[in-house]
Structure 1
Amino acid sequence: MKVMLADFHKFIGYSGGIENVFAKMASALSERGYDVIAVFADEKTEGEPFFAVPKSVKLLNLYHLPGEKAVKPSGLTKALREVIRPFSRAAARDQNYRLLYQAKAQLSRLLEKEKPDVIVSFREPTGRLLLDGVGTKIPVISMLHNDPDEIFRGSPAEERKALEKSAAIQVLLPSFISKAKKYLHYDHFIAIPNAVNAPHVTADHLAKKDKYTITCVGRLTGRTKRQHLLIEAFAKLAQGHPDWQVQLWGDTYDKPYVASLKSKIKKYGLEKQVFLCGTTKDMDAVWKETDIFAFPSHHEGFGLALVEAMCCGIPAVGYRSCPAVNEIIVSGENGILCEDGVDPLSQALGRLMDDRMLRRTYGEAARSMAEKYHAEKVWEQWEGLLRRSLGIRYSKGGVS
């Protein structure tokens, strides 16, 4: 079977969760004997992907295809998008789609040349271009990488209608199916979690250390990940816990937010206890130092880093209101879910910081509960979906 993975988005040097899944799926399917084409869309022509893609995968940049005229997204359209964004999320996303639509001809010729049996679309604009812009009849499995409320609230109607032509729509958690149905007139959903390659690390919560570490992993951004809440929560604990530190790992592209985090660190005098660590490809080294995983996100689609930490036997703290996190963390069993705000987060962290036996108990449960997300089990589910997709024919409002 020839499978095309399509994520018409920047990929070179990007270290986000979707890019991680894109590379992992390409590698996993190739290892299982599939003929894999992985297509992204990046104006860059130089540099390497942050997440490695094996040479057995044909990796192509839609904007710079061999033998094709390079696609240069309109600067005017980009500028208009930024003007519109504060007033209408849907209109801004339409502008994004117009930028992508400039590669329609290149995509049509690529599909004709490669003739994939099935396509896996990683983002909604990608699916829109495939199913509406190009109008492909190749089965397209559309992935939803976030909470459907976050994806579709304020999304363009044309985008939703296009996705309704999908051969199947994959969500990350069973609870997301009912959410997606609020926005899509569609029935062929399937819940498959992200695949997690379990790190080769097991936390030892009874070991005595000079420094104990609270870790948070995710791009530094105020709207989603909200690392500022962790800094403020730790500030209430730092003086009484001089042997504890916080490490914030993640991409620092949001320069104003990074500056605000540095300002908070300085304000609370935490320069020797809170660190902005950037990105790394050696996550095993990070997990080896970690005693508690803190995840103060507003919303998540899954939380790869959260489950990786759990695989290592690391207990986690998150907000009860955060989708996905509030299903993966079972409060009182493998971690703690707290109410919104700085004080509840601080209290939850303090409880684990002061009780190494509780950290071990929750950590052991976390490692056991995370087994269902192990890569081998997840890729088996994907293989079943890919095989079934070949027998699917399109019908109005979904598939039959």
Structure 2
Amino acid sequence: MKILFIQHKGFINGSGGTEKICSFLANEFSNLGHTVEIATNEDVDGEPVFNLKQEVLVTNIFDRNIPQIELKKTFNYRGSNPLKWISYKIQKKLIKRDNKKLIKQNGGANELFKLNLHNRSKAWKSYIDALHPDIIITMSISSLLEITFRNEFKVPIINSTNGRPDYDYSDVLWYRSPFEMDLLRNAYQKLSGIQVLFDSYKDFLPDTFHGKAVTIPNPVPQFPDTEMVDLKVIKKRYKIINIGSLATDCKQQHVAIDVFASIAERFPDWDLHFWGLGNDFNFLKDKIQKVNLQNRIFLNGFTHDPIAELKDSDIFIFPSKYEGFGLALAEAMSLGLPALGFTTCSGVNELIQHDESGFLAQNTEDLRVYLEKLMSDCTLRSELGKKAHFEMKKYTPKTIGNEWEFFLKAFAS
């Protein structure tokens, strides 16, 4: 079977959960003897971050000849320099004025959006028709819309949902115009099937979806009991760790900084480490300076070996506002780290069992109390970590790969 994965943007140089799962599935299906290709449409140089089998082909269909009318991007200044703030404010107003003029020239924002989308979707149609895949797996509903807008395909299309489904088509997390939400909701009609991460997520599918829905979680790396983190060993320095993109609107690393700063003085042998890249690096750096903990809170950047960093840690803190599955969280739990998160965070509240494999906080004060509790008691850390380790055994890569293979067989001609 020839399987085509489509992640229309973000795959090249992308180190997030979607890219990781796309690479995992591509390798799994290649191991099973399928012909696998991953396609994207990005004006970037680079390569996939996660390892892919040599047999897996990655194609970037980007072509500068595809007409696109681009609006200029605006940026908010998040530093403390008042002169820079004024400069950015003026630049933003000028850019908005130019963008408004360009939108008017093209019949309004909706018409401009459709024009650009239609030109990209035509390119996708030509590419897919020439490839003749047996099945298409889109890595987001946005990718589904990219290939199906004003297009029809006879080949079955499956969507891999890497978040709670309504995050893909609603404005529950950030602004989407009613026009864009309608396009995304209607795109579900083009699906033969959809994979969701937890049974509860099926309740968030739109009524425009009429295909087959199946629950398949993400795979979690498995470690023998002997490789679990030893949380009772006496150290000179203990580590609280967070791994994720530096995007505070979602990952909320600033919350972890505030919580740690409020109790740091009482725990002088503990440090807080962040691993990841993102647009909020400077914002978080400034925040660390303001709490005067530069020697105890560290922004370490990207790591090619997150497992090694997790093994050298004692607590995993994950104060995200929203998640799909929380791959970094699951990896930490698999290694036997007790975890902290918010009970209101989707995905996190499915993985952490409160007071069994970690703690789910109702609010920031709760998070501080539970963090302090874990920092004070190595026996508690060890007990919760062991339960987390065994809880993750149900997400073995082999199990998840087999479930995906069984699901796809239902659509094979």
In percent, how many aligned pairs have the same letter? Answer: 31
For residue 218 of structure 2, what is the aligned residue in structure 1? 194
Give the secondary-structure state (helix, strand or coil) at the position aligned to 1:294: strand
1:74 is aligned, of 64, 69, 75, to 69
Q: CA deviation at 1:163?
A: 1.3
Matches within 5 A, 1:250-261: 250-252=276-278, 254=279, 257-261=280-284
Letter in 1 for 2:25: M
Distance in 2 (alpha carbons) for counterparts of 1:7 and 1:368: 33
Distance in 2 (alpha carbons) for counterparts of 1:83 and 1:9: 23
Letter in 1 for 2:198: L
Give the secondary-structure state (helix, strand or coil) at the position aligned to 2:191: coil
Matches within 5 A, 1:97-246: 99-154=116-171, 156-181=181-206, 183-186=207-210, 188-198=212-222, 201-246=227-272
Q: How many residues align?
A: 375
Give the secondary-structure state (helix, strand or coil) at the position aligned to 1:238: helix
Matches within 5 A, 1:14-25: 14-25=14-25
What are structure 1's unaligned runs of at least 5 residues? 85-90, 392-400
Q: Deviations along 1:126-180, whole A, 9 cap, x unmatched?
A: 1123333321111000122212232222352122112122110111111000122
Distance in 1 (alpha carbons) for counterparts of 2:245 and 2:109: 22
**Structure 2-normalised TM-score?**
0.85
Q: Deviations along 1:249-302, whole A, 9 cap, x unmatched?
A: 1122x1xx3222112211111111111111111112111111111110011111
What are structure 2's unaligned runs of at least 5 residues? 75-94, 101-107, 172-179
Distance in 1 (alpha carbons) for counterparts of 2:110 and 2:344: 26
Q: CA deviation at 1:23?
A: 1.5
Matched, 1:62 2:61: yes
Cα distance 1:282–1:140, how it changes in 2: closer, same or farther (>3 A)? same
The worse-fitting range, judged by mean Cα deviation, of 17-26 and 152-161 is 152-161
Q: CA deviation at 1:92?
A: 8.0
For residue 315 of structure 1, what is the aligned residue in structure 2? 338
Distance in 1 (alpha carbons) for counterparts of 2:255 and 2:111: 33
Contact 2:69 2:112 in 1 (8 A): no
Which of these two proteins has the greater Rg computed from alpha carbons?
A: 2
Give the secondary-structure state (helix, strand or coil) at the position aligned to 2:292: coil
Matched, 1:41 2:41: yes
Contact 1:199 1:311 in 2 (8 A): yes
Cα distance 1:212–1:169, how it changes in 2: closer, same or farther (>3 A)? same
Distance in 2 (alpha carbons) for counterparts of 1:74 and 1:128: 18
Distance in 2 (alpha carbons) for counterparts of 1:339 and 1:93: 40
Cα distance 1:83–1:151, how it changes in 2: closer, same or farther (>3 A)? farther
The worse-fitting range, judged by mean Cα deviation, of 153-162 and 327-336 is 153-162
Matched, 1:386 2:408: yes
Matched, 1:365 2:387: yes
For residue 79 of structure 2, what is the aligned residue in structure 1? none
Distance in 1 (alpha carbons) for counterparts of 2:395 and 2:409: 21
Distance in 2 (alpha carbons) for counterparts of 1:265 and 1:222: 14
